[in-house]
């Protein structure tokens, strides 16, 4: 028999995880160009490249902290900026995307599903794609 506590816990989980889960599922639908229900690194990098172009309104080929709009903390930006110029080139940005993709892919199968995207590492990756 299902207890009231079990029902309450299930409801709480659904309410708390619902928006994040639907955001993860939505990301798969949005960026999954081969319609296999998962995201591979090529699909993620394609989405990141398109976003990079949108975030670079001055078309100087770099993103600074203002253009990144909170997608990376100051500490993360500094770590991702090997030449320490305060900006990220497309290659530097894609390197961060790849690192986060790999962190979100614990089974190392080369694809991310909605469950993996809903993990803390997956949500960190999604911040770079939105």
Predicted pLDDT at 10: 41
Q: What is the pTM of this model?
A: 0.82
pLDDT in tens, 53-110: 999 999 999 999 999 999 999 999 999 999 999 999 999 999 999 999 999 999 999 9
pLDDT in tens, 22-64: 788 999 999 999 999 999 999 999 999 999 999 999 999 999 9
Q: Please give the Cα distance from 36 to 19 (Å, whole number).
A: 22
């Amino acid at each position: 028999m299902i207890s009231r506590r079990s029902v309450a816990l299930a409801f709480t989980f659904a309410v708390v995880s619902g928006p994040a889960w639907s955001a993860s599922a939505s990301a798969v639908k949005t960026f999954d160009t081969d319609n296999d229900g998962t995201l591979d690194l090529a699909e993620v990098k394609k989405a990141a490249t398109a976003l990079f172009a949108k975030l670079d309104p001055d078309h100087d080929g770099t993103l600074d902290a203002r253009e990144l709009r909170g997608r990376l903390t100051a500490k993360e930006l500094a770590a991702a900026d090997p030449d320490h110029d305060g900006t990220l080139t497309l290659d530097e940005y894609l390197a961060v995307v790849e690192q986060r993709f790999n962190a979100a892919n614990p089974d190392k199968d080369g694809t991310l599903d909605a469950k993996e995207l809903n993990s803390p590492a997956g949500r960190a990756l999604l911040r770079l794609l939105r």
